[in-house]
Amino acid sequence: MSTSIATPSFSAAPAPAPSKAHDVSLDVLRLVATFMVILIHVSAAGFSQKAQHWWGVNAYESLSRASVPVFFMITGALLLPRAHSIAGVLRRVWRMALALGVWSLAYLVYNKYKVTGLWLPDFSELGHWCMAILRWPVAGHLWYLYTLIAAYFFIPVLAGFFRTTPVRLQCLVLGVWLLAASLVPFAERLFGEARVYVDTRFFYIYPAYLLAGALLYHHLAMRRVWLLASVVGYLLCTAGTATLTWYFSKDAAVNTELYYEYFAPMVVVAAACVFHGVRAAGARFVERYPNAQGPLVFFGNLTFGIYLMHPMVIWELHHAGMPWNFINPWLAIPLVMATVFIICASLTYAIKRIPILRAALPG
C-alpha cells in the first residue's frame, strides 16, 4: 500500500473522487490531535491559578488549541468528497447518538459514584438523566458529539458544494466564511462592539473547518515549502496566542481565554498549519519507515475511544496524587498526558474486543 498522497496544487477543478486507499497520514494527525486534547484538559486545572509555573500551563494550552478544529477538518476531508444517502446519514447519526448516550450515562454514573460511593445507578433518576443528556453535555468534552450529530445532517449540503463547485469559488466562500465566523466575532469580543456591522448569524466556525479540511486535503500539494510554512505558521500562532493570553491576563482579575477560542484567528491559522504540516510530515515519515504504518493505524483507530474516556482517567490520576502540578508542571503536564493516553488506549483496545460494548466506540 502506498502512503504517498499525490495531490495537485490549487486549481479550478472540482474535488476528485475519494481514494479507497487508507491514508496513514490521517492516523498521524488523529494521534497528534488526541494528544493535544489531553494536554488541554490536563493543564486546564492550573489555568485559573496565577501560580509560579503558570507560564507552563499557558504554553501547553496554547500549543494544543488546534486540536478539535483538526478533528473537524479530518471529518471534512473524508466526507465532503463523497456522495451521501439518507441511509448513510442516519447510520452515522445513530452511531454517534448511541455513543453519546452510553458515555453520557457513564459519566453520570461516575459522578454519582464520586458523591455517594455507589456504582449502581438509581433507576428513579433515569428520566432526569435522559432529560439532562438531551439538554446539555453532562461532561464538557461531549459537546463535540452533539456538534458532530448536527454536522452529519449538514455535510451532504456542503459535500454537494464541494464536489461541483470550482475550487477558486470555494476558496472565496471559505475566505468570507472565516471573516464572518472568526475575525468579526473575535473583534466583537475584543472591543466589546462591532466597528463595522456584519450580520454573522448565517455563518459558524465548525462548518468552515469542514470545508477548509477538504480543500487542504484534496487541493494543496504536500511539498516541502508548504511543510516549512506550516511549521513556521504554527509556531508563530502558538507564540502569539500564549503571549497575548499572558498580556491580557497578568493584570486582570480573571485570566482571559479569548485567544484560546476555536474561532480566534490565530487558532484558525494554527489548525490549518497543524492539519497540513502533520499530514506532510507523517506521510514522509511512513515513506521512510514503512514498518511504522501498522502501529500508527492501530493507535489511530483507538483515538475516538481515548477522546471519550480521557477526562475520567485525568480525574482518577488527580485523586491518586498525579495532578498537573505533582512535580514541576513543565514536566508533570506532558507526563500525565502520556500516562492518560496509555491507560485510555489500553481500555479502548479492551472494550473494542467485547462485541456488546464495541458499538459505544464508533470509528
If pLDDT is split at 50, 70 and 90, which confidence band does 49 have?
A: confident
Mean pLDDT, residues 295-303: 96
* Cα–Cα distance for residue pair 332/53, rounded to 1 Å: 11
Of 194-198, 255-259, 292-296, 341-345, the range with the lowest mean pLDDT is: 194-198
- Ramachandran region, residue 169 (left: φ > 0; alpha: ψ -120 to 50; beta: rest): alpha
pLDDT for 307 beyond 60: yes
27-37 pLDDT tens trace: 999 999 999 99
If pLDDT is split at 50, 70 and 90, which confidence band does 12 have?
A: low
The contacts of residue 341 (CB under 8 Å, 6+ apart) are: 34, 35, 38, 306, 310
* Cα–Cα distance for residue pair 45/43, rounded to 1 Å: 5
Give the pLDDT score at 194: 61
Mean pLDDT, residues 228-251: 95
Give the pLDDT score at 135: 87
pLDDT for 10 beyond 60: no
The amino acid at residue 327 is I
If pLDDT is split at 50, 70 and 90, which confidence band does 4 have?
A: very low
Neighbours of 102 (CB within 10 A): 14
Write down the domain spans for the chain.
24-358
pLDDT for 143 beyond 60: yes
Neighbours of 236 (CB within 10 A): 14
In 163-210, DSSP assigns E strands to none
Distances, alpha carbon 324 to alpha carbons 66, 93, 317, 330, in Å: 21, 35, 9, 9
In the chain, DSSP assigns E strands to none
Give the pLDDT score at 252: 86
Give the pLDDT score at 16: 59
Give the pLDDT score at 133: 86
Q: Which of 298, 352, 357, 354 lies closest to 103, judged by CA?
A: 357
Give the pLDDT score at 8: 38
The percentage of the chain sitting over the pLDDT mark of 70, rounded to a whole number, equals 89
183-221 pLDDT tens trace: 988 988 888 766 566 677 788 999 999 999 999 999 998
Structure-model confidence comparison of residues 198 and 248, the more confident one: 248
Instruction: Please state, rounded to an integer, the average pLDDT across all residues of the chain.
Output: 89
Question: For the chain, how long is the longest CA-to-CA vector?
Answer: 61
Helix, strand or coil, per DSSP, at residue 350: helix
pLDDT for 18 beyond 90: no
Mean pLDDT, residues 132-160: 94
Cell 462591532: give the residue. Answer: 194
104-127 pLDDT tens trace: 999 998 988 775 556 565 666 777
Give the pLDDT score at 7: 39
